[in-house]
A and B are shown apart, each in its own frame.
Chain A
Amino acid sequence: QKEVEQNSGPLSVPEGAIASLNCTYSDRVSQSFFWYRQYSGKSPELIMSIYSNGDKEDGRFTAQLNKASQYVSLLIRDSQPSDSATYLCAVTKNDMRFGAGTRLTVKP
């Protein structure tokens, strides 16, 4: 079992729709959870961090964490073509481990 698993996609949504990205992790004692966005040929950019169960909202982005289910998700509301990128889920205990990423395409 991989430490951090994400659906590889690609996930395609129309402009203005909600994009839902999911991530599961294997280490129950993981403590911090992050979502990064990576455009093609660029480095990862931090977009959300979440540390406790529940929802955390930042603009069009909402991160959701359920430690009992070892599940973290990212919702992107009113998706824009500029949101088209690979989204990486990262989980930390002593060091940071990444999933393989989900490629999102937002179609105009």
Chain B
Amino acid sequence: DAGVTQSPTHLIKTRGQQVTLRCSPISGHKSVSWYQQVLGQGPQFIFQYYEKEERGRGNFPDRFSARQFPNYSSELNVNALLLGDSALYLCASSLDKYNQPQHFGDGTRLSIL
């Protein structure tokens, strides 16, 4: 079975632009979470979606938004990009919304110039 897939792999944007990152969960997984990881730090929680509804939100500004589709895939949108948004963006899926192990995709490396 395919694991969590993310696209694109790498992305280069300039300040002020907008970006959309995509994620397909493991088949049968209904929960998708998004994380931001900067070099030398652990992943920081951004959003969790379950059954197309937002179930949790981390300490990120409103420039960050996400949604989950009926097929459980998800998109993360970031508006008005800042240099500090440069990071590895990770998507993880799990069977349900609480306490289940999460399985990560390979991530999208976002660079802001």
Contact = CB atoms under 8 A, between A and B. Distances in A.
Interface of A: 4, 31-32, 34, 36, 42-46, 49, 51, 88, 90, 92, 94-101
B56 interface: yes
Nearest to A36: B104
Closest 8 CB pairs of A and B: A98-B42, A95-B56, A32-B99, A43-B104, A100-B42, A98-B43, A43-B107, A49-B101
A43 B105 contact: yes
Residue of A43, A44, A46, A101 most packed against chain B (CB within 10 A)? A43
B106 A96 contact: no
A101 B102 CA distance: 17
B45 A46 contact: no
Interface residues of B, number: 25
Contacts of A44: 43, 90, 104
Interface in B97-112: 98-107
17 contacts: A4-B42, A31-B98, A31-B99, A32-B100, A42-B106, A43-B90, A43-B104, A43-B106, A46-B102, A88-B42, A88-B43, A94-B55, A94-B98, A96-B33, A96-B45, A97-B45, A98-B42
A101 B56 CA distance: 23
A31 B101 CA distance: 12
A36 to B, nearest CB: 8
A45 B101 contact: no
Nearest to B45: A95
Contacts of B48: 95
Contact of B42 (A92, A94, A95, A101): A101
Interface in B45-101: 45, 48, 55-56, 58, 88, 90, 92, 98-101
Nearest to B107: A43
A51 B101 contact: no
Contacts of B106: 42-43
A100 B43 CA distance: 8
Given A34-B102, A43-B104, 17 more contacts: A4-B42, A31-B99, A34-B101, A43-B106, A44-B104, A45-B104, A46-B102, A46-B103, A51-B99, A90-B102, A94-B55, A94-B56, A96-B33, A96-B102, A98-B43, A100-B41, A101-B42
